[in-house]
Amino acid sequence: MDKQIPGVSNAFQSFLTNAPIHAQAWMKAAQDLEAASALDEKTKELAYIAVLAALRMDSGIPFHVQMAKKRGASRDEVISAILVGLPAAGNAVTQSMPAAIAAYDGV
């Protein structure tokens, strides 16, 4: 994979480019897990955004915000997904807010 994928972090793009066999195995596992989920597509993306924010993995936020938006998530739903982790993860989740807003608004 030599072409940059829009919204994908440089780190994950490097993984896809430099370890293609591992990346293919990872992507297959991720697709299988997604297929096993009982959640609808939009809810899965919003939940994923919440997990990324709680784990402070901001590099994945833009891609998953764009996916959530494509699947019908509103700006307020994306913000709520980030903030749902406040009680458990604390205000560290707010670190993801700028990246999420920029991705949603297309900035």
Structure confidence by residue, pLDDT tens digits, 53-95? 999 999 999 999 999 999 999 999 999 999 999 999 999 999 9
pLDDT at 2: 56
Summary mean pLDDT of the chain: 93
H or E, element range at 82: helix 75-83
CA dihedral 89, 90, 94, 96 (to 10 degrees): -20
Alpha-carbon distance 40 to 29, whole Å?
18
Does residue 1 carry a pLDDT above 50? no
pLDDT at 10: 86
Q: Identify residue 45 by its one-letter amino acid code.
A: E
Q: Report the predicted TM-score, pTM, of the whole model to 2 decimal places.
A: 0.85
The lowest-confidence range among 6-20, 37-51, 88-102 is: 6-20
CATH 1.20.1290.10 matches 39-107: yes
% of the chain at pLDDT higher than 90: 83
Alpha-carbon distance 50 to 78, whole Å?
9
Length of the chain: 107
pLDDT at 107: 73
Burial 83-100 (b: 16+ CB within 10 A, else e): bbbeeeeeeebeebbebb
